[in-house]
Amino acid sequence: MKAKLGEEFRPYIMLGTCNAHFAWRALLAEDKVGALLPCNVIVTETAPGTGEVAAADPVTAMGIIANPRLTAISEDVQQLLQEVIVEL
């Protein structure tokens, strides 16, 4: 934001975390899903020396599409995201 808008903001990083394997499975289940894939994880400083990691819940994000195959894939992704965030 500083470089493009000249605005200051606390340390904030957006990580692109799309997994090609899961994205491919999702595209095979629903070809328009690319517009909805929750592929970002944010890491931000909430106070000096204290951080927070956040990600969209893939089950909720994919829930707007009534497709059981997509639901199963998003549940797999949800489990992996939870495991990664717990380890941080």
The domains located in the chain, with CATH, are 11-87 (3.30.310.70)
- Give the whole-angstrom CA distance, residue 57 versus residue 15: 15
> For residues 62 and 71, is the Cβ–Cβ distance under 8 A?
yes
For the segment 17-46, what is each residue's pLDDT rounded down to a tens digit?
889 999 999 999 999 998 888 888 999 999
Confidence of residue 16 (pLDDT cuts 50, 70, 90): confident
Alpha-carbon dihedral 74, 62, 53, 5, rounded to 10 degrees: 140
CB 31 within 8 A of CB 24: no
The reply to whether the predicted model has a pTM over 0.95 is no
